[in-house]
A and B are shown apart, each in its own frame.
Chain A
Amino acid sequence: MRNMQKQTKIFLILFLVPSVFGFIVFSLIPMISAFYLSFTSWDVIGGAPEWIGMKNYIDIFRSEEFYRVMRNTLKFITFYIPSIMVSSLLVALLFDRKIKGMGMFRVLLFIPVLTSWIAGAIIWRSVLSGQYGLMNNLLALFSIKGPAWLTDPDWAMIAVVMVSVWKDLGFFSLILFGGLRGIDKTLYEAAKIDGATSFQVLRRITIPLLTPTIFFVLVTTIINSFQLFPQVMVMTGGGPDGATQVMVERIYTYGFRYFEMGYAAAMAVILLLIIVIVTIVQMRLQKKWVFYE
C-alpha cells in the first residue's frame, strides 16, 4: 500500500508538471514582473526600470483619461451584454428545434467566429463607412439616414458593439444550445400536459434550468468586455476623439507606442483588480439566481 501511495504521488506530480510549469513561466513570473514594473518608469528600449513608487498609480487616477476609458468600457458592457445574451439565447432556442438542415445554419452562423479580426475589421470598416457603406445603403432603403458609424464619437462604440455581437453570436449561441440540449425534454411535455403556454415553459422551466450555462456565458462575456482590444485596435484605433479608448488599447498604446511600460503595467494591474473584483461579485451573486440541480 505504501508503494501504491508513492506511485500515486509521483504520477500526480508528473501529470501536473506541464501545466504548472507553463503557469509559472508564462503566467506567474510575467505577472509578478508586470506588478514590479508598475512601480517603475521603464522606456523598454534602453536601461533598467527605475523605481518611482506609486507615481504611476497616482497619475492614472488623476488623469481624465482613466475615467473616460472606464466610461467607454461601461458603455460597451451596457450595450454588448444584453445584446449578446438575448440574441444568442434566441438563436440557441431556434437551434433546439428539430428541423432538417439545422446543422447547416449552425455551420454558417459560426463563420464570423472563424474569421480573423484583421479581415473582419476591414470588411466592417467598409460596411459601416458613412456614405458608401453597405449598412447605410440598407438603412436608406427604409428611409433611415444612418450615422457615420466609425467617425461619430456618439456612435463609434455602438459600432464596436455591433461588430462584437456579429463575431461572438455564433460561439455563445452554440454554448447556450449545448446547455439547452442537456435539459430533460420530458419536463417540457409534463408542463404542456398541465396546460402551460410556450412562454411559461420558457420562463419557468427552460431559463431556470439553463442558468448555469447562462452564468458561464455572463462571466466570460464580462471578462471579454474588460479585455476588449482587437476590434477596437483594427477598427477605430481608440478614436474618434477617444470615444473607443479602452483599457487594453491604452495599455498597448502606452507600452508599445509611447514606450512607457511602467505606466502601462500599472494600468494592467488596475485592470486585473477590476476583473477579479467583478468576477468575485458575480460568483457571490450566482447563489441568488443560478439554479443547480
Chain B
Amino acid sequence: MNKKLKLENTGVLVVLFTLTFISILPFLWMISTSLKSNGALLSIPVEWIPKTVSWAAFIKVFTRLPFIGALANSTFITMTSTTITLISSSLAAFVFAKFEFKYKNLLFTLFLASMMIPIQVTGIPIFIILTKLNLTNSYLGVIFPTVFNVFAIFLLRQYMKNISNDFIEAAFMDGANFWQVYWKIVLPMSIVPLTTLFVINFMNYWNDYFWPLIILSDPNKMTLPVLLSKLNAQYTTEYNTLMAGSLVSMVPILIVYAFAQKYFIAGIQEGGIK
C-alpha cells in the first residue's frame, strides 16, 4: 500500500513537473531575452541562454524610462481600486445575501447581465460620462469605475449566505446597528473570499491597459502596461527592454499571490463558487 502510494506520488510529481515546465517555459524565455544585449537578440541560431549576460535592458528600464513613476502610479491606482471594489462589493453582497427587498432579484440579474458586455462597446459612452463628471485625466477616472464589480459581489454573496443568521441576529439584539454588524461580524468572517478577491482584482487592475490608456493622458500619470506597450513600436520592438520591464512589473503581483495563495484557494473552496 505504502509502496503503491509512493509510486503514485512520483507519477503525480512527474506530470506536474512537465506541466509546470511547459507553463513557465515562455516565462524563462522572457528572463533569457531580458538578459540579452541588443545584438544577441536577433542572432541565428537562437541563443536559448545568453552567452554573455547583459543588464543593459534592466538598467534602461530604471534609468531612461519613467519606470519608477509608472510603478508608483500603478501601485496607487491598483491599491485604491482594489480597496474600493472590496468595500463597495462587500456592502452590496451583505444586503443581497441577508435581506429581502422589492426588485432584489431583478437588480441582481441585471448586475449579472452587465458582466457580459465587452468594454470596447461601452468605452466611448463611459468616457463621455467621465468627461461630464470632469474625471478624465485623473486617477479618479480610472479608479471610479471599479466601484461596481459584479464578480466580487457574486462571490461574496455566495459566501455570506453561509454565515449563520444567529450571529447577526444576536448582534442586533445586543443593539448593534447595521454598520457595526457589517464591520465587526460579517467582514471579519469573510476574510477568506476577500483575500481571494484581493488577489484577482489586484491582478486585473494591475494589468489593465485599455482604461488607463484612454483616461490618463498626462504622461506623468501613465501606468506600467501603457508604458510597456510603447516599447512595442510601429517598426521595431526593443524586445529585451520590453521583457525586462514586464518582468519587473510582474514582481508585485507575484509577491501578492505567493503570500495570499493559501487564502486564495480556501476562498474558492469554502462555498464561494458553487
Query: Which of A's residues lie within 8 Å of B, judged by CB?
Result: 7-8, 11-12, 15-16, 18-23, 25-31, 33-34, 44, 90-91, 94, 97, 99, 103, 105-120, 122-124, 126-127, 132, 134, 166, 169-170, 174-175, 177-179, 181-182, 212-213, 216, 223, 227, 229, 248, 251-252, 255-256, 261, 264-265, 268, 271-272, 275-276, 279, 292
Shortest B224–chain A CB gap in Å is: 8
Q: Which of B56-64, B119-127, B163-171 contacts A (4 or more CB under 8 A)?
A: B119-127
Also in contact, A272 and B274, with CB within 8 A (given A15-B182, A26-B145): no
B92 close to A213 (CB less than 8 A)? no
Also in contact, A22 and B88, with CB within 8 A (given A103-B261, A116-B207, A182-B270): yes
Q: Please, which residues of chain A bring their CB within 8 A of the CB of B45?
A: 132
B residues 91-142 touching A (CB-CB < 8 Å): 91-92, 94-95, 99, 101, 107, 110-111, 113-118, 120-122, 124-126, 129
What is the predominant secondary structure among interface residues of chain B facing chain A?
Answer: helix
Number of B residues, CB within 8 Å of A: 86
Residue among A30, A116, A166 making CB contact with B246, cutoff 8 Å: A116
Also in contact, A115 and B246, with CB within 8 A (given A27-B117, A178-B269): yes
B118 close to A268 (CB less than 8 A)? yes
Q: Is B253 an interface residue (CB 8 A)?
A: yes
B26 close to A25 (CB less than 8 A)? no
Q: How far is the CA of A275 from the CA of B269 in the complex (A)?
A: 27
What is the predominant secondary structure among interface residues of chain A facing chain B?
Answer: helix
A27 close to B23 (CB less than 8 A)? no
Q: How far is the CA of A222 from the CA of B99 in the complex (A)?
A: 31
Shortest B134–chain A CB gap in Å is: 14
Q: How far is the CA of A30 from the CA of B144 in the complex (A)?
A: 15
A–B Cβ pairs within 8 angstroms, 30 of them: A7-B177, A15-B92, A16-B95, A18-B84, A18-B88, A19-B147, A21-B148, A22-B147, A26-B145, A29-B129, A30-B121, A31-B122, A34-B117, A34-B125, A108-B23, A110-B257, A114-B253, A115-B26, A115-B27, A116-B250, A122-B232, A122-B243, A124-B26, A132-B46, A166-B23, A178-B268, A248-B118, A248-B120, A264-B121, A268-B118
Q: How far is the CA of A248 from the CA of B24 in the complex (A)?
A: 28
B27 close to A112 (CB less than 8 A)? yes
B261 close to A107 (CB less than 8 A)? yes
Q: How far is the CA of A120 from the CA of B243 in the complex (A)?
A: 9
Q: Please, which residues of chain B bring their CB within 8 A of the CB of A19?
A: 88-89, 91-92, 111, 147-148, 153
Q: How far is the CA of A23 from the CA of B257 in the complex (A)?
A: 29
Query: Which of B's residues lie within 8 Å of A, judged by CB?
Result: 9, 12-13, 15-16, 19-20, 22-27, 29-30, 33, 44-46, 84, 87-89, 91-92, 94-95, 99, 101, 107, 110-111, 113-118, 120-122, 124-126, 129, 144-145, 147-149, 153, 177-179, 182, 203, 207, 209, 225, 228-229, 232, 237, 239, 242-243, 246, 249-250, 253-254, 257-258, 261-262, 264-274
